[in-house]
Structure formats: structure tokens, C-alpha cells
Structure 1
Amino acid sequence: MTEFNVRRDFERIGSWVDRGSRVLDLGCGDGSLLGYLRDTRQIRGVGVEISDERVIACVERGVDVIQQNLDDGLAMFGDRQFDTVVLSQTLQAVHQTEHVLREMVRVGRTGVVSFPNFGYWPHGWSILKGRMPVTGQMPYAWYNTPNIHLCTLKDFEDLCRKLDLQILERVTFSPTHEVKWLAGWRATLALYRFASATNSAGGLREPQ
């Protein structure tokens, strides 16, 4: 993941977050996103992270963090306790994908998910050559990757329909810019904002 994509990812998430709102960041890493939202949007944020090292980094950054495995669920949080729940580039590494997505819209009014797009065309070219793809967005070899549930944009959108989640917005990026057309082939990173279809937080904006 390039520095550019990190910045654009954070900027777009920030544009979807109201000032002073409550944000839960799942798999928050070193707390960079929550720190950014705190400084730019004055949010009240909490992170969930399993890694000892990253939890320490969050504390050093002044970010509130709970150490827990996401696959164990979010039972410690009440319904609609947060305005936005973020899962930034972690979806592909969780085991209980459907459960985590359902829990996101239970504890939050809206969810935000970003993930590497397995449909990016060089990935297919690599497979045709007999190799699993290794790229800037997916830098691991097949034997040491934490990514267990890779998907394309259409795969994720199909899952949202299955789970009765309403996609509100979609943004896609290449390593250097935002992708506006043929995103399923040209984008390396996808970013979605969604809500429960039975309790939508805004009008549907169909993905382009």
C-alpha cells in the first residue's frame, strides 16, 4: 500500500464522517486513521486491535483502543453506539466475514469498508503465468499472507445484497489516482460506505 493510497483513503473516509461524531475503527492498527479523524474531524473514536505492538502504538498516539480479536464479535458494544464503524483493509483477513459486517451495522449507523481488489487486471495476468499475484496492495507471498478472503468489487457487492446491506457510496483507487471507469479491472483498492437496508442512513448512490 503506497503512502498516496493511505492519504486518499483517509481523506475520503474523513469526508464521510461528521465532525464530533462517534467512530469505531475495527482492526485499527497503530491508530493512524483514528488519529487523523481526531485531528481533522474532532471525532470521538475507539479502536479494536489484537496485536500487542499495535495496541501500544495506539496508546502512544493517544488513541483509545480495546485489545480483542474481531472474529470474537462486538458484543461489548450496544446497538447504534457509534455513528460510523470502519474496517479499513482488514476485511480480507477476518474469518467471520458475514458476522463482522452484520455487527458493523448493528453497532453503527453506517459502515465503511476498504479492501484490495482481487479483480485488478495484473492479478489475472499473474495467475495466467502460473503464479499467485504479489503487488503493492497485496505484498505477501502465498505461504505467508494474512489475506484469507480475497474478493472483487462484484463479489463484495453481491455479499452486501445477500446481507441486506445498502451501498451508499463507492470509491476506487489505483496506486496513483482515483479510478472513475472500469474500476473492477483498473482499481487496486476499493472503499465502500454502507448501511442496513432496513435502517438506511441516506439515499442510495449506485456504484459507478
Structure 2
Amino acid sequence: MSLRSDLAVIAGHVAEGSRVLDVGCGDGALMAALRDDRGCDARGLEIDAGNVASAVARGLSVIQGDADVDLAGYPDRSFDYAILSQTLQTARAPDVVLDHLLRIGRRAFVSFPNFAQWRVRLSLLWGGRMPVTRQLPESWFDTPNIHHVTIDDFREHLKERGVTVEGAWFLSGDRQRSSAAANLLAQHAVFLLRR
């Protein structure tokens, strides 16, 4: 099974044999790839019971929980990597969730849809409506996205908090883009962070 493009970037940069916590792990696709291809000890936290059941059926160690509430119980530096893929924008307190990731993991991967991408801007400018795209398929009233973060917003947030960026990848579909004009052109971003 092939991974979503942001998950493939993450999987390709996690060191073999690492201890990994995947927060908002969905059905466990990334965890399974890390376990099977990289020999990682992968654990997951997922809010949706159906996704938890799917992940457990794959033989993965996943518990049901909410990133906004349950990360506080994890010990400092208990994982080599803490991963938050396409979940930051759904958290009630994304800044607190990010702080927990950087506390729990020696490094943290964060990926999110870029709400400043030109198609999103154009949809708002010309249509005057919130966009519905392949990357953002839900209507405004049905979306789990409650914080509309852009690449530039995230970079500024990291700078203000003194977080070190070890790597950044900007994606349009399955294609990587350079960091030049990423805020305008990239549909998704992946950051590798540490304190």
C-alpha cells in the first residue's frame, strides 16, 4: 500500500529502529510502514474508534485518545519521534499540542494543509466561498479543520517559540516544491522539529 505523500516523506526520514508516537494516527498506515520497513517500535493515539479498530486489526499498538487532552500524561523524551500528520489544524489548542510533541519526542514531525495555497486563495477571491478540494474535501460546516494555518504562520510561530527546524518539505500532490514561494504554491507542508 502506498502512503499519502506527507506520510511518505516522514517515513523516509525516521531513523531505523526508532521509538515513535504517531498522534492522530488514523488507520495506522504510517505506523505499519515504520514497523515493517524501518523496524520501528511505533505506538499510536487516535480519537476515532473506527480508525483505532482498523489499526489494532493490523497488529498495531494504538489507543483511543484526544491529542488536546491525553498528551499531558506522556513522560518527557519517551520517544525518538512524535508525529502529528494532518492533525494540527484540528486541535483545539494547537500550540499546546505542539509543545507536548516537542516534550514527548526528541524530535517531532508535523504536517498540515497549507491554507494559503493559491487554489484556496483563488476560491475565496473569485467564488467568495470556502474551498472544497481534493486536499480539503469537507464543506465549511462539516470540516474538522478549526485552525487555518499557513506555512508562513507556522514558520513565524516556531521562530517566536525558539523551535529549531531540522527539515522542511513542501508538497503539491506527490511532488516536492522548493521553499521559495512555498506559502503560495504548496498544498501541504512537513516539518521536522526539535527544541
Q: Which residue of 2 aligns with 1:194?
A: 193
Question: Does 1:37 find its partner at 2:38?
Answer: no
The 5-angstrom pairing of residues 16-35 of structure 1 reads 16-35=13-32
The 5-angstrom pairing of residues 121-132 of structure 1 reads 121-129=118-126, 130-132=128-130
Q: Which residue of 2 aligns with 1:93?
A: 90
Query: Is the Cα contact below 8 Å between 2:3 and 2:29 reproduced in 1?
Result: no
Q: Residues 23, 176 of structure 1: CA spacing in aligned structure 2 closer, same or farther, 3 A cutoff? A: closer
Query: Is the Cα contact below 8 Å between 1:5 and 1:175 reproduced in 2?
Result: no
Question: Does 1:58 find its partner at 2:55?
Answer: yes
- SS of 1:110's equivalent in the other structure is strand
Identity %: 40
Q: Which residue of 2 aligns with 1:150?
A: 148
Letter in 1 for 2:186: A
Q: In 2, distance between residues paired with 1:46 and 1:4? A: 20
Query: Is the Cα contact below 8 Å between 2:6 and 2:189 reproduced in 1?
Result: no
Aligned positions, number: 193
Letter in 2 for 1:164: G
Letter in 2 for 1:62: G
Q: Residues 22, 142 of structure 1: CA spacing in aligned structure 2 closer, same or farther, 3 A cutoff? A: same
Query: What is the CA deviation profile of residues 160-184 of structure 1, one whole-angstrom value per residue up to 9, with x for unaligned ones?
Result: 1222211111101112411124211
Task: Could you tell me which runs of 5 or more consecutive residues in structure 2 were left unpaired when the two chains were aligned.
Answer: none
Q: In 2, distance between residues paired with 1:99 and 1:182? A: 28
Task: Could you tell me which runs of 5 or more consecutive residues in structure 1 were left unpaired when the two chains were aligned.
Answer: 197-208
The partner residue of 1:76 within 73, 76, 81 is 73
84-93 or 175-184, larger mean C-alpha shift: 175-184
128-137 or 175-184, larger mean C-alpha shift: 175-184
Q: Which residue of 2 aligns with 1:163?
A: 161
